[in-house]
Amino acid sequence: MENQDLKSEKKFKEYFNLANSSRNFSCPVRDVVAHVSDKWSLLVVYALAGDGTLRFNELKSKIGDVSQRMLTVTVRKLEQDGLVKRTIYPEVPPRVEYQLTSLGMELLNKLVPLIDWAQENSNLIISSRKKAAKY
């Protein structure tokens, strides 16, 4: 257990240096995490994970309450990060398809345990929050 603590301590310092090296240079870990944890990225990744390939409006209707603008911004960011592949078919009317890259699928695999945990414990967390709000 002490060994565990030591390992944990060492690991923290490692991450910490990466995460906090400077406020001027972007920090990789915080940066990458921020990109997947914004309001829509998670839902886009999950939508593509479920269906494999989706067109713009399929994605939009699947998520439901996302605005056209934010969906565009989100998929562009994911595309630039190399997590999502965007394929344009030069037809009329235009057709654009989105799918996860292998990097995107890797990310998804890391995300699943977190989401599972969040789902399982959300009641606990939310009730804890409400109890605190009473006072």
Partner DNA sequence: CGGTATCCACAGGGATACTG
Partner DNA sequence: CAGTATCCCTGTGGATACCG
> Which does residue 133 bind out of DNA, its own copies, none, counting CB within 5 to 8 angstroms by kind?
its own copies
| Cα(69)–Cα(80) distance, integer angstroms | 17
β-pair partners for 84: 100
**Quick one: 23 or 90, whose CB is closer to its own copies?**
23
Strands 95-100 and 84-89 turn out to be antiparallel
Helix, strand or coil, per DSSP, at residue 96: strand
Residues that bind its own copies (CB under 8 A): 5, 8-9, 11-13, 15-16, 18-20, 23, 26, 28-35, 37, 39, 42-43, 46-47, 49-52, 62-65, 79-83, 103, 106-107, 110-111, 113-115, 117-119, 121-126, 128-129, 132-133
